[in-house]
Amino acid sequence: MTSVTAGFAEALRAWSEAIGATHVSAEPQALGQAATATFHTTARVLAILRPGTAEEVQESVRIANRYRVPVYPISSGKNWGYGSKSPVRDGVLLDLGRLNRIRECNDELAYVTIEPGVTQRQLYQFLRERGSQLWMDATGASPDCSIIGNTLERGFGHTPMGDHASTACGYEVVLPNGDKITTGFGQFESARTVAVSRAGVGPALDGLFLQSNFGIVTSMTVWLMPAPEHFEAFFFLCDEPNGLGPIVDALRPLKLSNVLRNVMHIGNDYKVVAASGRFPWDKVTPGGVLDAAMMANLRRTHGVAAWSGAGALYGTRAQVRDAKRLVKRALKGRVNELHFVDDRRLALATRFAKPLSVLMRRDLVRLLGVLRPVYDLLKGIPTESTLASTYWRKPAGPPKTGVQDPDRDRCGLLWCSPVVPMTGAALTEVTTLASEVLLKHGFEPQMSVSLATDRMAICVVTITYDRDVAGADEAAMQCFNLLAERLQARGYPLYRRNIAAMNSTDLSPAYAALLRELKAAIDPNAILAPGRYEPAVVADTSAARWRA
């Protein structure tokens, strides 16, 4: 990378002056850690900058332009399964962790304006301490994950505010040229409507900064929901391996008619087993896989269902009561068990889990271990519990003490997340295909289906492995690529991409050409996150055609 090495030393000096030498690191170990993800990565991290304000971000970007050194922004860098902190190509990491202010909280209009360093834990505690009656949304990832980072990757959670990109607005963005804009009505300095409207007047630009390398978001307004008068979660178990389709077809009308307002999740047996325990080393031959037959066995012995679903009802007592009736009617005959749980009942179940287990011939203790965090997430409460499952394939399991760090501990994790129309047929096709491909490649097909919006579901397929096993990195990536390719070919593209598979080769030529023209206009020196969600470089004439 001659373009980098050229002015790199001067660039480092300039950055040190701009943001303070203590916030510029080129320490080899730190750089190595930053370049490490939960799968094999190739990009080098040349330095780490930790600006403290949007103005310092602007200055850092101007320096990057001056010396033509690419910078790659991260918020908390906990993008596990998709690339963690690692840039797509060699570059300097722009760590926004120090921008961690909650700039505003408006209880009347139910929103907060936050910076990229603000974590789920931080916002949750902030609202608690304030005694706020507002609920945030949370993802199942670590409480230390950045809210803005997740939103910009189009992440989703579990509450009615779970579709993050559609419940955020007013992005403050540092452009690759060092300018700073705010989207929506932030286009006007005088506007009092920035935090209440995604739209401004004229073309909407906020979408340009989702999954892109067009700008660095230094602040964003996130909408919250008022705590409902009554909350009740429901969990269902379906022992029928082909049960997913009928369930989805029965729930879709409830999504479309607004009875089910939250992002519901349905997990398969592998997902539940992995979430609730350790890999059964005793049952599987070394290098083997927990195959369908063994899983069928596990289901019987541990009373794990083929499909386990979780949803929730939010509203007045009467609204929740009627929604319960509709959920029961929809799932009748399609699930084996349906349990409605509120705070009181959950406490009881936890207390009597052991005896109830015997009674119900289900491992309720294990089940509650899985369900409790889901129950919390349905209320927007972040949870610590999910990270352990990234250690599923690690013989030693998660560290008994200290922080869990899948990057450091060489946990192998790749997520393959196709978007699927919310029909039983489509979701059956996708989950069947994913299960086949993963088992064939020697990985347990952990899958969850999230009813992300009213018409669309996202199936998250987890490829978990041990990076310390020779060849596992290659095998996992091969499996991922094959599955992604097959899904794409059948019409189910991924909603989100990892840094090793970020460049679509199959974009329509005109669409790819437009993306390139936009990038060239916004970032002529290509200094911002090169390669990030960019179209693959392929022969393309569509853009040139008309100029002839």
Q: Please give the residues from 76 up to 135 whose contact with a second copy meets the rule CB under 8 A.
A: 108-111
Axis crossing angle, helix 244-256 with helix 424-440, rounded to the nearest 10:
140
**Cβ distance to a second copy smaller for residue 444 or 523:** 523
Distance in angstroms (rounded) separating the CA atoms of residues 416 and 411: 16
Say which residues have a Cβ less than 8 Å from residue 187's Cβ, sequence separation at least 6.
181, 200, 201, 202
Of the candidate residues 7, 246, 315, 373, the single one contacting a second copy (CB under 8 A): 315
Name the residue nearer to a second copy (CB basis): 144 or 429. 429
**Stretch 461-520 residues interacting with a second copy (CB under 8 A):** 488-497, 504, 506-508, 510-511, 513-515, 517-518, 520
The Cα–Cα gap between 402 and 391 comes to 14
What residues form DSSP beta bridges with 225? Answer: 135
Asked whether position 5 contacts a second copy by CB under 8 A, the answer is no
Instruction: Return the number of other C-beta atoms located less than 10 Å from residue 417's C-beta.
Output: 24
Interface residue with a second copy, options 233, 237, 422, 459 (CB under 8 A): 422
Pick from 30, 102, 105, 210: which binds a second copy (CB under 8 A)? 210
* 177, containing H or E segment: none
The residues, any chain, with a CB within 8 Å of residue 371's CB and separated by 6 or more, are 235, 310, 341
Nearer to a second copy, 177 or 404 (CB): 177
Which region among 17-25, 141-149, 316-324, 436-444 touches a second copy (by CB under 8 A)? Answer: 316-324
Q: 198 near 164, Cβ under 8 Å?
A: no
Q: Give me 261's structure tokens.
A: 């307002």
Minimum separation from the CB atom of position 242 to a second copy (A): 20
Dig out the tokens for 181 from the structure: 């804009």
Cβ closer to a second copy: 174 or 411?
Answer: 174
Which span (71-79, 117-125, 335-343, 414-422) binds a second copy, by CB under 8 A? 414-422
259-298: contacts with a second copy (CB under 8 A): 259, 261
Q: What is the CA angle 246-261-333, rounded to 5? A: 25
Q: Which is nearer to a second copy, 135 or 235 (CB)?
A: 135
Stretch of residues binding a second copy (CB under 8 A), selected from 84-92, 158-166, 358-366, 387-395: 158-166
Task: For 212-229, give one letter per residue: b (16+ CB within 10 A) or e.
Answer: bbbbbbbbbbbbbbeebe
Q: Which of 1, 26, 32, 253 binds a second copy (CB under 8 A)?
A: 253
For the bound state, the minimum distance from the C-beta of residue 177 to a second copy, rounded and expressed in Å, comes to 5
Kindly give the pairing relationship between strand 45-49 and strand 91-95: parallel
Stretch near a second copy under the rule CB under 8 A, chosen from 232-240, 257-265, 297-305, 353-361: 257-265
Q: Which of residues 179-208 bind a second copy (CB under 8 A)?
A: 179-182, 185-193, 195-208
One of 294, 349, 522, 526 touching a second copy (CB under 8 A): 522
Does 209 help bind a second copy (rule: CB under 8 A)?
yes
* DSSP output for 329-398: HHHTTT-SEEEEE-HHHHHHHHHTHHHHHHHHTS-HHHHHHHHHHHHHHHTT---SGGGGGGGTT-TT-S
In the complex, what is the shortest distance from the CB of residue 42 to a second copy, in angstroms, rounded to a whole number? 21
Contact of 455 with 422, CB cutoff 8 Å: yes
Q: Which is nearer to a second copy, 119 or 150 (CB)?
A: 150
Among 456, 475, 482, 526, binds a second copy (CB under 8 A): 456
Please list the residues that pair with 236 across neighbouring strands. Answer: 309, 338
Quick check: 319 binds a second copy (CB under 8 A)?
yes
When asked if residue 539 is in the footprint of a second copy (CB under 8 A), the reply is no
- Are β-strands 134-135 and 111-114 bridged in parallel, bridged antiparallel, or unpaired? unpaired
Give which of 147, 28, 41, 145 is closest to 477, Cα–Cα.
41
| One-letter identity of residue 480 | F
- Judged by CB under 8 A, does residue 380 bind a second copy? no
Stretch that binds a second copy, among 122-130, 173-181, 262-270, 303-311 (CB under 8 A): 173-181
Applying CB under 8 A, the span of 209-217, 232-240, 334-342, 393-401 interacting with a second copy comes to 209-217
Q: Which of 125, 258, 283, 355 binds a second copy (CB under 8 A)?
A: 258
